[in-house]
């Protein structure tokens, strides 16, 4: 697949196979996908359809069996492990379902962590973190630790952490999965606002059809392949109280039963921005106490 103009992510013929012979499972089967700058794409599909495998591959935490992934024109298959880690650190933001905040750090320190790891001076990291927390409505909560914040506030901190590096691409893994419906709607409204105001490119995996409808378009995974789902709503139709949403049950998306569980990937905040926890924690002390 040739690279499209203004494309941030181009996936071509992507395959991922686990096991062999009788235990062989094709999690992804020749998947093609292109996401352009400023686009908000939702990915849906039942358990086993390849969503987790796709996220691991896009984050560079796993290697494909075949095909290619280009982010900002760079082919992940041509990068070594250290180069992929650097790409994640500088160009990819990740929002986790379980927030993945460090309990011993304040909200501001959690947001500043990826900047500190990337070598940003402590004062600058603290200032940028404080500004980003203000952008997600948490200016007055920046010195609070995760256990002092509600679930919705913790997810806002995680969103700020993903965006503070000014990433080329944001990957959101069920960002409302651990929230109640009210907090979930607020987080989706925030994501929609950030995409529109910052022209942030975002791919979100979700099981919630009403949340998927807030994206620009929906991609459904079926048997490890992607196909276009119902079109997402126009901007003036995205009001939470009035929009109609696609019925996932009517999409006839079968589940790919996995006889072999995919190997676990370290899809956590620390693993995402640093090779190991000790590498990350070494950078905590320099910006401790940053105003």
Q: Encode pLDDT of 163-191 as tens digits.
A: 999 999 999 999 998 899 999 999 999 99
Residue 1 resides in a domain: no
Q: In whole angstroms, give the CA distance from residue 61 to residue 79.
A: 12
What is the pLDDT averaged over residues 116-145? 94
Q: Indicate if the pLDDT at residue 15 is higher than 90.
A: yes
Residue 233 binned pLDDT confidence (cut-offs 50, 70, 90): very low
Residue 2 resides in a domain: no
Q: Indicate if the pLDDT at residue 97 is higher than 90.
A: no
pLDDT digits (tens, 9 = 90+) for 32-77: 999 999 999 999 988 778 888 899 899 988 889 999 999 999 999 8
Domain containing residue 94: CATH number: 3.40.50.300
Q: Percent of the chain, pLDDT > 70? A: 77
Q: Indicate if the pLDDT at residue 273 is higher than 70.
A: no
DSSP of 232-264: PPPGGG--TTT-----GGGG-------SSPPPP
Give the single-character DSSP code of 11. Answer: E
Tracing tokens 């901190």 back to the chain, one arrives at: 157
Residue 261 resides in a domain: yes
Residue 236 resides in a domain: yes
What is the pLDDT averaged over residues 132-155? 95
143, two tokens: 């010195």
Q: In whole angstroms, give the CA distance from residue 160 to residue 152.
A: 12
Domain count for the chain, please give it.
1
Could you tell me which residue, 255 or 158, shows the higher pLDDT? Answer: 158
Between strands 225-228 and 66-71, the pairing is unpaired
- Position 22 scores a pLDDT of 81
- Position 236 scores a pLDDT of 41
- Position 224 scores a pLDDT of 74
Residue 287 binned pLDDT confidence (cut-offs 50, 70, 90): low
Range of the domain at 225: 7-287
Task: Of 92-106, 206-220, 250-264, give the lowest mean pLDDT range.
Answer: 250-264
Residue 220 resides in a domain: yes
Q: Indicate if the pLDDT at residue 250 is higher than 90.
A: no
Q: Is the dihedral of CA 253, 230, 1, 78 positive or negative?
A: negative
- Position 275 scores a pLDDT of 40
* Mean of the per-residue pLDDT values of the chain: 80
């Amino acid at each position: 697949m040739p690279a499209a103009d203004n494309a941030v992510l181009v996936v071509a013929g992507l395959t991922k196979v686990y096991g062999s012979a009788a235990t062989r499972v094709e999690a992804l089967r020749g998947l093609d996908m292109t996401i352009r700058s400023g686009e908000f794409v939702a990915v849906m599909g039942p358990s086993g359809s390849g969503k987790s495998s796709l996220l691991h591959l896009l984050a560079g935490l796993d290697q494909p069996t075949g095909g290619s992934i280009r982010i900002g024109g760079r082919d992940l298959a041509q990068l070594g492990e250290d180069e992929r880690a650097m790409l994640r650190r500088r160009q990819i933001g990740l929002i986790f379902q379980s927030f993945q905040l460090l309990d011993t750090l304040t909200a501001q320190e959690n947001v500043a962590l990826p900047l500190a790891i990337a070598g940003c001076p402590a004062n600058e990291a603290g200032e940028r973190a404080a500004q980003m927390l203000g952008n997600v409505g948490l200016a007055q909560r920046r010195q609070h630790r995760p256990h002092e914040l509600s679930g919705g506030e913790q997810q806002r901190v995680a969103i700020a952490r993903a965006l503070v590096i000014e990433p080329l691409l944001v990957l959101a893994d069920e960002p409302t999965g651990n929230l109640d419906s009210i907090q979930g709607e607020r987080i989706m409204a925030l994501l929609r606002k950030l995409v529109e105001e910052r022209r942030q490119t975002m791919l979100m995996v979700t099981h919630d059809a009403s949340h998927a409808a807030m994206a620009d378009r929906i991609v459904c995974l079926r048997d490890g392949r992607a196909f276009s789902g119902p079109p997402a709503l126009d901007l003036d139709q995205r009001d939470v109280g009035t929009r109609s949403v696609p019925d996932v049950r009517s999409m006839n998306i079968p589940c790919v039963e996995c006889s072999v569980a995919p190997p676990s990937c370290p899809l956590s905040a620390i693993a995402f921005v640093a090779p190991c926890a000790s590498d990350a924690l070494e950078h905590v002390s320099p910006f401790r106490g940053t105003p």
